[in-house]
Amino acid sequence: MRVQRKIALEEHVASPETAVYSEKLHKDKWHVMGPRILDIHGQLLAEMDAAGIEISVLSLNAPLIQAIPNVSQAIETARRGNDFLAEEVAKNPSRFLAFAALPMQDPDAASEELTRCVRQLGFVGAKVNGFSQKDREDSAVYYDVPEYRPFWRVVESLGVPFYLHPREPLPSQQLSYVGHPWLLGPSWAFGVETATHALRLMTSGLLDEYPKLTLMLGHLGETLPTAVWRIDHWFRLAPRGLPAKRKMSEYLRDNFYITTAGNFCSHTLTDTITEVGVDRILFAADYPFERMTEAAEWFDNLDVISEEDRLKIGRTNAEKLLKL
* Cis peptide bond upstream of 288, omega within 30: yes
Sequence-distant (6+) residues with CB within 8 A of 99 are 57, 58, 59, 123, 124, 125, 126, 127, 163
Residue 258 to residue 256: CA distance in whole angstroms: 6
Sheet with strand 6-13: strands edge to edge:
6-13, 53-60, 96-98
Q: Which candidate, 161, 152, 286, places its Cα nearest to that of 216? A: 161
- Extended strands (E) in 3-95: 6-13, 53-60
Q: What is the chain's Cα-based Rg?
A: 19
> Could you tell me the sign of the dihedral formed by the alpha carbons of 315, 82, 62, 208, in that order?
negative
User: What residues are annotated to the active site?
Assistant: 286
